[in-house]
Structure 1
Amino acid sequence: MDNHSFRTWLSQRTDDQLTQLLRLRPDVAHPLPPTMAALATRLRVHASLARAAAELSALQLAVLEAASAAGAEFEAVSVTAIVEVLTPYGASPESIECALEELEDRALLIQEDASVLLTEVLSTLPPSFHVVGTQDLSWVRAALEELDPKQHSLLNALARADGIGHSKDAALDADPTRPIPRLIEAGLLERADGSHVRLTAAVAAVLRGQPPIPLTPVQPHPSEDAQRLNSTGAAQGLEFCRLVADLIAQLSQQPVALNKDGRLGARSCAGLAKTLADPSATETNIACAITVAASAGLIGTGLTSHVPDPLPSEANYLAATRGADEWLELSAAERYSALIDAWLASPWATWESNRPLETETRHSDLPRHKRLVLAGYPLHTPISTEDARIRALSIRPVLGLNLAPERISGVAEEARLLGLLVPSAQEDAATSIASQAAQNEDFEATLLEIVPAEVDQFIVQGDLTLLVPGPPTPELARELNVCAQVDTPGLASTYRFTEATVRRAFDAGRSESELHEWLAGHSMSELPQALMFLISDVARRHGALRGGAIASYLRCADPEILSALMASPQAAQARLRLIADTVAVSELPLAQVVSLAQQAGFHPAAEDSSGATIDLRPEPARLFAQPQVAKGRREAPEPEVLTRAVAAMRERDNPAPEESGADVTALLTAAVRGGRSVSVTAVNAQGAEITSQVTPVSVAGGRVDARNLATGATVRIPLSRIKNVRMN
């Protein structure tokens, strides 16, 4: 079908059908096509057709192959002819008709009174790729085991040459004892013409190591409680959110210096895991958290503000961004949703290296493979990784061809960490979120249903712990991280008070009365005496020394305490000198003096000019530049925008005839598939045009090999010399 006929067909589609087309082929909608002619051209561009083919299911691809086998690339064929090709492989007429409608919605096949297949579509598929005939490969493997080494070598050579080879033994009267006639007799080769043979689809699949591709994915019945799976997945997802929050907090206090080549050190993840001292903070989990947080724009690499001493401020670091502060203020469901989106768009394969964010581990096709792996796991039904791979091949065969087992295992492991897959024995089950993410659907509403509501109250227990019976609000989490430490993470997390955590709260500017008041205001139970005594005891010893800027000073109502500090080795390091029995001054910053006094066993409090306690904690380290957030699959514009775009194309549509020839390579490749003869007009070395009647045998390497119908000889014509091709 030429461009003019194709454009005419597009013009006859309804507005709803055109809007659906732009939604299913979003790449042609960026930018929005101004005219129907522009849309027709974009739809037939090789790159766009390749993207569309990669999204097709096994049944849809099988329908395309069956239509091609029936001659739909050259003339209209009936649905019955397509059904006859696929019926032996278990496809029902109803499913075939449904697939035909879906292909027409994508403008890959045109149905009017009969079906017409665009000649460019199958040319975008990988060489020697077939779906039809690859459902049962056991007989091929058995037949290959019976071959001698010479026959094996011949088949492997054909597989390396795109499955087509030239041989005089392809003739009908060739010696039947020769290897090629014997392979033809065994069904492992098929005769293209009197001088060429090609591998059958099944043999090519086995030699490539391709597993059988079912025309429809197996749909096991859900055998697990959906609510339990979703709750378990949400709990794990919130645990991953906590890990990312802990990572941000650590990088805010101590950013990780990069090597001179701009890469993270080989032991960076190990160092972070040791510092965080959390059972879930393994090196593998830390690496995943780094790549997901980087994809979400929460952390990045580069020059950093507020670099703590003694790190050099001019160096590059892995540090948190200002976007991390915004993320920390979101609700639990919003934080979880942002990390899922970031993981789906992340191009880094962390399982390939012990250094996250490595250039060698960045793969542009990984985001699409992640969605495909998730699609391979049926909703709420545990299956093995191998069964998930077979399902993925059936759902997206073209995309699944390059989906190595190692990548499936790596993606599945990260999906478990984010709570998208829930392990069950040696199998995994997909949650509702995973199923919606695989289909590129909006899952925020589902997240709000399965993520427990946030709480701003807790239960204080007598063993200096408190229980938070759900995800804490950002404000509650922020205060708890100041005055306590996580003891047992989870949906119902436990925090523990220690002398060090209470002192940290006082160092952050909280007073004894403020801490008592805040705890009483959020506790659902009476505060135990043990906690009250701990707070009072730390408060009594905290702040006996008072410090201010001289650069800084220390003052104390008790001269003996100040004398004891002056007698310590840290007094010299702090460059302290007495100016009165109760006052000492230093030329060092107050934060440094207070830190040295703490090392000497004292607990000074910082104050402002009015004597009020102030927070001496350093400003969190932040990158100067906000890194670019990783983006997932390009989406179609909003429906209202598409509707207006279709109306605009209608207004500008010019029904005048348009001369446009079909793609030469696509026509020749279609002739190879259908065994059709064509008329080729080419320019020879002297610049003269020569028209020949030929039957193309193969198109590869910028040239076409064809059999001349007049002489019977095989000729090779460079594609660059061909001016025109017409079907006979």
Structure 2
Amino acid sequence: METPQILQVASLLTLPQLQVVEVLSLRAAGTRRRDLARALGVVADDPLLAAALGAVLDSGLARIDEDDSDWIRTVALHEVIANGYGFGRAAEHELRYLPLEQLQRIAFELGAPVGRDHGRLVKAIGAALADPDVVREQFRAAPRVAQDIMLDLASGEPFYSDPHAMMALRNGRRASPLRWAVDHGLLIFNAYYGAAISMPSEVGAALRPDFRAGFDPSPPAPQSVPVSAEMVDREGSAAARSALASVTALLEECGRTPVPILKAGGIGLREVRKLARALATDEEGVRFWLTVAGMNGLIGIAGDRVAPSAEFDNWLKLEPNDQFGWLVEGWFQMPAAPLLLDGRPALVGSEHDGTSALLRVTMAAVLASLRTGRGAAGIEGLATMLAYLRPLVAGDAEEAVPMVEALWREYELMGVGAHHAPTALCHALAEGDQDRLAAALRDFLPAAQETVLLQSDLTAVATGTPSAALSALLDLAADRESRGGGYTWRFTEPSVRRAFDAGCTAEELIARIRAAAAGGRVPQPLEYLVADLGRKHGNVRVRTVGCVLRSDDVALLGEIRSVRSLARLELTELAPTVLSSALSPSETLAALRHAGYVPAAENPDGTIAFERPTRHRADMPSAGVDPGS
């Protein structure tokens, strides 16, 4: 198993399982069951130890030796979990840097097989030192001075750096007491690379008489409080509807005005605040919804700006429960922690991202384990449970609090938790039950509304989530005023004019509004507003003109209008002596000349604009520069 894989597997261990692994890592060549139990302070046949060890064996981080069922061998844990409990590195790690002759001498003194294969020598010596009885026997035979030094190293820092002692070792003086310990592998000294003498973890663990590793096989029982399951689901449903509306509104706003990206990446605080003002929400919400949308493929990069992706249009066509299902499943597994605010721009990752998905999933399991009608007493209780279930990722209970606070806020925003209790969505996610999740989503987000209630104050109210078609119509002809539990639009002169400018006629707009109105009822004030603006719309029209042609010769202008080769000018009579052209002055002059006419450009004051030839000249070369270069 490679180091990244070992870390990945170890991140899934609970606290007692990790404690077992930490003790096993002290002996690279393996550990006897009785030595493992002694280090953990329990008897060898302790059932809780057996359960924790069984989980470690199932994870693949350790295995039972084929020839000796009492011997537990591990993958390269000593390379990943090092210097635990104040001990040094494992013997195999330290021995690999020693020359062959030194390894041969250590193997000989320990009674291990002696050969010329460097790797086998390292393994053989490591296996000998992994047996505490061998280490203690060698220690008893050591000179008294060496014993005192080794006891100090076992109980304190596992490094010894006396310059005189190391000089004696470098000079090969075998009379040194430390030379005896080095030759027997109880201490490691590399004359070429070592700046200090070190004690392998196998030796330290055997010589520290009072060594006991922590072992906490019983999970903590955080306090819980009564809470209404119906109230929790009701608030979760409201949060889910608000979440869906927030994501939709945010992406529509980004579609209207794509958001610029900082040169260093991400969306800066200024743009986040601008979006928050436009959506009447807070900066935390904008950061979170941008990340959720991005992780679900609903936004993309357009040049140097963020805008909705093409997938957003497909997403809009889904029913509300399917839209939110898309979001919540992506959120649950997303490797991002956007609410751990640390000054980062939005959409920029952090060191917390890699572990956030695992902790998010673990929190769902913690909440789902609460009895029905109960919620956690507070964030600290949830942090305690996460620290127990995923200690390698969460750290201890105190260290876990900031991450748990950020994740809990996500749970509230997504409607997965309320009052520190799980909603129906949380139970479905924790179980990985797609059918239960689909049912919860249908309960939380009913089918989209196809009609809206129109009121005499020119407002339109949808009590549920409006369909994409209904939203498109109302966003075209009215202005949104609120989102969340209910949606409100207001018809105004500018909003109705916006619909006319998009190509609607008064008759067509009223017909579409009536089709979308509950009961087909359109209040009279709204009909009057649409009809009145419909009569006025287009009374004054604005046309794009590239330039105008002017001549006192009316017949000449009439002739020019009839020339086929000049059709691309789109000439229109503005007055008997004035024609408009759709092209620019230079293009129009060129076209007229190509048709055989002799036009002239005109200044704003009516005088002829003379076209003087432009002569380009190069600057004089500076002194010392060769003009021909």
Q: TM-score, normalised by structure 2?
A: 0.59
Query: Following the alignment from structure 2 to structure 1, what is the Cα–Cα distance between the partners of residues 293 and 390?
Result: 29
Corresponding residue SS for 2:509: helix
Which residue of 1 is the match for residue 59 of structure 2? 106
**Do the aligned residues in 2 keep the contact of 1:488 with 1:495 (CA within 8 Å)?**
yes
**2:67 pairs with 1:119:** no
Aligned-residue identity in percent: 24
Query: Following the alignment from structure 1 to structure 2, what is the Cα–Cα distance between the partners of residues 92 and 496?
Result: 71
What's the CA shift for 1:438? 5.3
Corresponding residue SS for 2:246: helix
Which residue of 1 is the match for residue 241 of structure 2? 238
What's the CA shift for 1:479? 1.9
Distance 1:299 1:586, change over 3 A: farther
Which residue of 2 is the match for residue 504 of structure 1? 498
**2:375 pairs with 1:386:** no
Task: Select which of 465, 469, 473 maps to 2:459.
Answer: 465
What's the CA shift for 1:118? 3.5
Query: Following the alignment from structure 1 to structure 2, what is the Cα–Cα distance between the partners of residues 109 and 359?
Result: 34
State how 1:611-650 maps to structure 2 within 5 Å: none
Task: Select which of 306, 322, 338 maps to 1:334.
Answer: 322
Task: Select which of 510, 513, 516 maps to 1:516.
Answer: 510
Distance 1:386 1:84, change over 3 A: closer
**2:356 pairs with 1:366:** yes
Which residue of 2 is the match for residue 208 of structure 1? none
Task: Select which of 393, 413, 425 maps to 1:433.
Answer: 425
Which residue of 2 is the match for residue 632 of structure 1? none
**Do the aligned residues in 2 keep the contact of 1:484 with 1:501 (CA within 8 Å)?**
yes
Query: Following the alignment from structure 2 to structure 1, what is the Cα–Cα distance between the partners of residues 491 and 220?
Result: 53
* Matched letter for residue 421 of structure 2: A
State how 1:141-152 maps to structure 2 within 5 Å: none
Distance 1:116 1:53, change over 3 A: farther
Query: Following the alignment from structure 2 to structure 1, what is the Cα–Cα distance between the partners of residues 352 and 58?
Result: 34
Distance 1:361 1:84, change over 3 A: closer
**2:310 pairs with 1:317:** no
Larger radius of gyration: 2
Q: Deviations over 1:527-580 (max 9, x none)?
A: 222222222222222233356676799xxxxxxxxxxxxxxxxxxxxxx99815
Structure 2 residues not aligned, in runs of 5+: 86-150, 162-202, 549-570, 585-629
Stretch deviating more after TM superposition (263-272 or 285-294)? 263-272
Task: Select which of 323, 328, 345 maps to 1:355.
Answer: 345
Structure 1 residues not aligned, in runs of 5+: 1-43, 131-157, 169-190, 203-211, 304-315, 554-575, 590-728
Which residue of 1 is the match for residue 169 of structure 2? none
Query: Following the alignment from structure 1 to structure 2, what is the Cα–Cα distance between the partners of residues 335 and 530?
Result: 35
**2:10 pairs with 1:53:** yes
Stretch deviating more after TM superposition (451-460 or 428-437)? 428-437
What's the CA shift for 1:262? 4.7
What's the CA shift for 1:406? 2.8
What's the CA shift for 1:104? 4.7
**Do the aligned residues in 2 keep the contact of 1:213 with 1:390 (CA within 8 Å)?**
no
State how 1:379-418 maps to structure 2 within 5 Å: 381-401=375-395, 404-418=400-414
What's the CA shift for 1:436? 4.5
Which residue of 1 is the match for residue 178 of structure 2? none
Task: Select which of 254, 259, 267 maps to 2:257.
Answer: 254
* Matched letter for residue 361 of structure 2: R
Which residue of 2 is the match for residue 139 of structure 1? none
Which residue of 2 is the match for residue 345 of structure 1? 334
Which residue of 2 is the match for residue 579 of structure 1? 574
What's the CA shift for 1:390? 0.2
**Do the aligned residues in 1 keep the contact of 2:383 with 2:400 (CA within 8 Å)?**
no
Distance 1:502 1:408, change over 3 A: same
Query: Following the alignment from structure 1 to structure 2, what is the Cα–Cα distance between the partners of residues 46 and 325?
Result: 43
Distance 1:72 1:223, change over 3 A: farther
Corresponding residue SS for 1:267: helix
Query: Following the alignment from structure 1 to structure 2, what is the Cα–Cα distance between the partners of residues 167 and 400?
Result: 34
Query: Following the alignment from structure 1 to structure 2, what is the Cα–Cα distance between the partners of residues 227 and 115?
Result: 53
* Matched letter for residue 312 of structure 2: A
Distance 1:448 1:214, change over 3 A: farther
Query: Following the alignment from structure 1 to structure 2, what is the Cα–Cα distance between the partners of residues 197 and 92?
Result: 21
Query: Following the alignment from structure 1 to structure 2, what is the Cα–Cα distance between the partners of residues 118 and 447?
Result: 47
Distance 1:52 1:65, change over 3 A: same
**Do the aligned residues in 2 keep the contact of 1:456 with 1:522 (CA within 8 Å)?**
yes
Q: Deviations over 1:305-346 (max 9, x none)?
A: xxxxxxxxxxx2222222222222222222222223443414
**Do the aligned residues in 2 keep the contact of 1:165 with 1:197 (CA within 8 Å)?**
no
Q: CA RMSD in A?
A: 4.7
Query: Following the alignment from structure 1 to structure 2, what is the Cα–Cα distance between the partners of residues 484 and 115?
Result: 77
Q: Which has the higher strand share?
A: 1
Which residue of 2 is the match for residue 218 of structure 1? 221
Task: Select which of 536, 540, 556 maps to 2:535.
Answer: 540
Q: Deviations over 1:480-512 (max 9, x none)?
A: 222223333223323222222222222222222
State how 1:153-302 maps to structure 2 within 5 Å: 165=158, 192=204, 201=213, 215-218=218-221, 223-274=226-277, 276=278, 278-279=279-280, 281-302=281-302
Corresponding residue SS for 1:381: strand
Distance 1:217 1:337, change over 3 A: farther
* Matched letter for residue 452 of structure 2: F
Distance 1:127 1:84, change over 3 A: closer
**Do the aligned residues in 2 keep the contact of 1:348 with 1:361 (CA within 8 Å)?**
no
**Do the aligned residues in 2 keep the contact of 1:352 with 1:361 (CA within 8 Å)?**
no
What's the CA shift for 1:392? 0.4
Bigger relative contact order, structure 1 or 2 (CA pairs below 8 A, ≥6 apart): 1
* Matched letter for residue 516 of structure 2: H
Q: Which has the higher helix share?
A: 2
Corresponding residue SS for 2:481: strand
